[in-house]
A and B are shown apart, each in its own frame.
Chain A
Amino acid sequence: MNILSLDNVVKQYHNHTAVDQVSFDIPKGIVFGLLGPNGAGKSSLIRIITSITAADEGVILLDGEPINEMTSSHMGYMPEERGLYKKMKVGEQLLYLAQLKGMDKKEAKESIKNWFIKFGIEDWWGKKVEELSKGMQQKIQFIATVVHNPKLLILDEPFSGLDPINTNLIKDEIAELNRQGTSIIFSTHRMEQVEKVCDRIVLINQGKVILEGDVDQVQQEYKDNIFRIEFDGNMPSDLKSPHFRIISDDDKSVTIQATEGHNGNELLQNLISKGIEIKSYQEVLPSLNEIFIKKVGESNE
């Protein structure tokens, strides 16, 4: 079952196509990475999913139902550009936003109090937002996003502007929510942040999907047969072989790429036969960043 499924979604602004026939599915309960360079159409797509703007064409289903006004209460959205009412008190503000998401006052209050306890900020209810530091405001923004227990959480560049401590705090909370069954969409252009947390990704460039799949699968697909070998003793100088190419080496390790048609086993055999004492052997998978740069580069050509 998919929490969100997009079918042939198109959004055109008068002189360019921001979202071009985008289709993908997000299975329930996973952490999903919506990746792409700046201006790829991520934000336009998110605005369509959150019904801020309407798509020109295509179907979007949230938990099997077409998105409409009512579905917005099942989504929590944190935009890249954060914003709160500066002059409003923290508690009143969260209460207002939660009620706009369809919660009644009592349950909203309860939920906010729980989050305050979680973050250790019980005495912030009566503080004005402008009195808080930026990091504190980010916490409030996060609470505003999750206060109504959404099924789907959409976080646009969630860690931009956060210090490492708050980044970890938010990361932990997101992981916890995910464990409890909330599906999560991360939208970002910073791959290293999502590589470890995402189960599945879609890569968008110039409004089009250029890559989709589970992270492991994608990495397998784009691997370049590169292996890293740590060894003891001296590396023989005549390591040249038509079967592999040394990418880099130092005293204790070597990174080798097997040429086409050859694999890791052959490489190992070769090395062992040369009498090298191998300490460790590992396949080097490409980082999402590398795949990203490669794919975006290809699609821009």
Chain B
Amino acid sequence: MNKIWLIIKREYSTRVKNKTFLLTTFLAPIGIVVFIAALTLVMSSESDDQKQIVVIDQSNLLEGSVKATNNIAFTFTKDNFTQSIKAYKKGENNGILVIAPLDDPTASKYVVNFHSDEQLALDESSRLERSISKKVRNFKLRELEISEELLSNLDTDISINPNMVKSDKKVSSITSAVGGILGGIVGYAMFFIILIYGMQVMRSVMEEKISRIVEVIISSVKPFELMMGKVIGVGLVGLTQISIWLLLSVLLFTVGSTFFGMDASSMAAPNLDPELQAQAETAFSNKDKIAQILTELAELNWWKIIPLTLFYFFAGYFAYASLFAAVGSAVGEDINEANSLTMPIMLPLVFAVYIGVSAVQAPNSTVAVWGSMLPLLSSIVMPTRLPMDPPIWQIAVSIISLIAFVILFTWLAGRIYRVGILMYGKKASFKELAKWIFYKG
């Protein structure tokens, strides 16, 4: 036990003191924030080559005003088209927007011409289209004598309210949405963490084997202790890194929004198509909904979700990292060989992510239910379902099968590992690995 502790300590401290670790841990989040800040700055800065667009508004639709942007300024003119074209040719303007007279209030199509050798940027043109469409609508309302109030009476906000039949739990329509998003994030995070740190375990095992230090080490400790120490040590490094990232992103986000006035929406989507942004705004526009999401989040059973998620994380990491260690012990210097052996470990992982994603949309589908109980998949699939409160019996089955699986697979991995680390020059096939499991001693 004492020796395992020594191994964990070495694995942890050599990694944490490593320059690459410090760089990725501390600079990566800062780098991302700086990048976003720079992007926001570029997006909001005044463009030095603002284009001058002349508008000939024959229907007086825009009523003499269009909001200028960083890239385009509009001037309304009483000049006719030929005069304006002349001016364009002289270089006095960069384009002419001709808004034809509008007199048919029932017209379903309305063409506005833009004359220039350059094209309008996509977002500029859709912005113009939207503001013209709004004016046309107002014009039509006026002409057809429809009041704004009457029109708004046509809009009805529909929400389907789920009601539990067997239990008296209260659920709302967005519980599933909030839970789903949360579950999806957790699922993906699990996948990457298991993969990244599992691979690290594998590389570390290969390094020890190639440098031949392993023979010295296992003359003092049991191979299984060495493997376990490594898996735990690397796992703790992962935990440290993730905690620092979480902490730093919260910190930087707070600092950023306080001092630089970056608001959440511009950080999240600085370059989003305005139309999409508008949609997003309508979806989450009213404060009621945000408040509701927050209450939903608060009402989630965190006392159940957090410990269970941690359990699935540790169990999943443990099982997969042991398998990666076994693969690392079986291959020699040839990294290609490693690739073909990691394939069968990657497959269930990737498969689990897909099931996890579908579980977000349909948490009680057959695939999701089975996926969250089968041990190779459950460590990723179950956490995605947890916010949506799966039945207790499923959680129980899933936990028991996962624990059994972890014990079985660390044992199997240990059997392969103990033979593999001393085996040189033998090509490791699956048949060979299977034989190793049954070697004596």
What is the minimal beta-carbon distance from B264 to any residue of chain A, in angstroms? 42
- Of residues 1 through 29 on chain B, the ones whose CB sits less than 8 Å from some CB of chain A are 3, 6-7, 10, 14, 18
Q: Assess the B211–A56 pair: CB atoms within 8 A.
A: no
Cα-based distance from A55 to B440 in the complex (angstroms): 9
Given contacts A14-B435, A47-B422, A100-B6, contact A52 B213 (CB under 8 A): no
Q: Which residues of A contact B219 (CB under 8 A)?
A: 50-52, 72, 75, 77
Which of A29-37, A81-89, A255-263 forms contacts with chain B?
A81-89
Q: Assess the A52–B218 pair: CB atoms within 8 A.
A: yes
Query: Does chain A have a CB within 8 A of B217?
Result: yes
Q: Assess the A52–B3 pair: CB atoms within 8 A.
A: no
Cα-based distance from A51 to B216 in the complex (angstroms): 11
Query: Contact check: which of B6, B18, B208, B211 meets A99 at CB < 8 Å?
Result: B6
Cα-based distance from A52 to B222 in the complex (angstroms): 8
- Of residues 79 through 127 on chain B, the ones whose CB sits less than 8 Å from some CB of chain A are none
Cα-based distance from A83 to B211 in the complex (angstroms): 5
Query: Does chain A have a CB within 8 A of B214?
Result: yes
What is the minimal beta-carbon distance from B102 to any residue of chain A, in angstroms? 75
Smallest Cβ-Cβ distance to A87: which chain B residue:
B14
Query: Contact check: which of A14, A47, A100 meets B3 at CB < 8 Å?
Result: A100
What is the minimal beta-carbon distance from B415 to any residue of chain A, in angstroms? 13
- B201-238 to A contact mask, C-beta < 8 Å, 1/0: 00000001001111111111110000000000000000
- Of residues 126 through 156 on chain A, the ones whose CB sits less than 8 Å from some CB of chain B are 144
Query: Does chain B have a CB within 8 A of A168?
Result: no
Smallest Cβ-Cβ distance to A49: which chain B residue:
B219
Query: Does chain B have a CB within 8 A of A114?
Result: no
Query: Does chain B have a CB within 8 A of A96?
Result: yes
Number of interface residues, chain B, beta carbon within 8 A: 24
Cα-based distance from A34 to B219 in the complex (angstroms): 19
Q: Which among A11, A51, A52, A97 has the highest number of chain B CB atoms within 10 Å?
A: A52
Q: Which residues of A contact B344 (CB under 8 A)?
A: none
Cα-based distance from A78 to B220 in the complex (angstroms): 12
Query: Does chain A have a CB within 8 A of B441?
Result: yes
Query: Does chain B have a CB within 8 A of A213?
Result: no
What is the minimal beta-carbon distance from A34 to any residue of chain B, in angstroms? 16
- Of residues 64 through 112 on chain A, the ones whose CB sits less than 8 Å from some CB of chain B are 69, 72-73, 75, 77-79, 81-88, 96-97, 99-102
- Of residues 171 through 211 on chain B, the ones whose CB sits less than 8 Å from some CB of chain A are 208, 211
- B418-441 to A contact mask, C-beta < 8 Å, 1/0: 000010000000000001000111
Query: Contact check: which of B3, B10, B212, B439 meets A82 at CB < 8 Å?
Result: B212
Q: Which residues of B contact A51 (CB under 8 A)?
A: 219
Cα-based distance from A47 to B216 in the complex (angstroms): 10
What is the minimal beta-carbon distance from A160 to any residue of chain B, in angstroms? 13
Question: From DSSP, what is the main secondary structure of chain A's interface residues?
Answer: loop
Q: Assess the A84–B222 pair: CB atoms within 8 A.
A: no
Given contacts A52-B218, A83-B214, A85-B213, contact A96 B10 (CB under 8 A): yes
Q: Assess the A73–B220 pair: CB atoms within 8 A.
A: yes
Given contacts A54-B441, A56-B440, A87-B14, contact A100 B215 (CB under 8 A): no
Given contacts A55-B441, A97-B216, contact A85 B211 (CB under 8 A): yes
Number of interface residues, chain A, beta carbon within 8 A: 32
Q: Which residues of B contact A11 (CB under 8 A)?
A: 441
- Of residues 17 through 65 on chain A, the ones whose CB sits less than 8 Å from some CB of chain B are 47, 50-56
Q: Which residues of A contact B213 (CB under 8 A)?
A: 83-85
Q: Assess the A77–B211 pair: CB atoms within 8 A.
A: no
Cα-based distance from A21 to B224 in the complex (angstroms): 28
Smallest Cβ-Cβ distance to B421: which chain A residue:
A52
Given contacts A56-B440, A88-B14, contact A83 B422 (CB under 8 A): no
Given contacts A54-B441, A56-B440, contact A86 B221 (CB under 8 A): no
Q: Which residues of A contact B208 (CB under 8 A)?
A: 85
Cα-based distance from A246 to B215 in the complex (angstroms): 51
Q: Which among B18, B215, B422 has the highest number of chain A CB atoms within 10 Å?
A: B215
Cα-based distance from A78 to B213 in the complex (angstroms): 10
Q: Which residues of B contact A100 (CB under 8 A)?
A: 3, 6-7, 217, 220-221
Q: Assess the A72–B220 pair: CB atoms within 8 A.
A: yes
Q: Which residues of A contact B435 (CB under 8 A)?
A: 14
Q: Assess the A86–B211 pair: CB atoms within 8 A.
A: yes
Q: Assess the B215–A83 pair: CB atoms within 8 A.
A: yes
Q: Assess the A53–B422 pair: CB atoms within 8 A.
A: yes
Q: Assess the A84–B211 pair: CB atoms within 8 A.
A: yes
Smallest Cβ-Cβ distance to B209: which chain A residue:
A83
Q: Assess the A79–B441 pair: CB atoms within 8 A.
A: no
What is the minimal beta-carbon distance from A80 to any residue of chain B, in angstroms? 9
Q: Assess the A52–B422 pair: CB atoms within 8 A.
A: yes
- Of residues 340 through 389 on chain B, the ones whose CB sits less than 8 Å from some CB of chain A are none
Query: Contact check: which of A14, A96, A144 meets B6 at CB < 8 Å?
Result: A96
What is the minimal beta-carbon distance from A175 to any residue of chain B, in angstroms? 23
Cα-based distance from A81 to B422 in the complex (angstroms): 11
Q: Which residues of A contact B6 (CB under 8 A)?
A: 96, 99-100
Cα-based distance from A86 to B14 in the complex (angstroms): 12
A-B contact pairs, 13 of them (CB 8 A): A53-B422, A72-B220, A77-B216, A83-B214, A83-B215, A84-B211, A84-B213, A85-B208, A85-B211, A87-B14, A88-B14, A100-B217, A100-B221
Besides A56-B440, A72-B219, 9 new A-B residue pairs in contact (Cβ under 8 A), listed by A number: A11-B441, A14-B439, A53-B422, A54-B440, A55-B441, A79-B212, A86-B211, A96-B6, A144-B216
Seen from chain A, the residues whose Cβ lies within 8 Å of a Cβ on chain B are 11, 14, 47, 50-56, 69, 72-73, 75, 77-79, 81-88, 96-97, 99-102, 144
A-B pairs, top 10 by smallest CB distance, nearest first, are: A83-B212, A54-B441, A83-B213, A100-B220, A50-B219, A81-B212, A79-B215, A83-B211, A77-B219, A53-B441
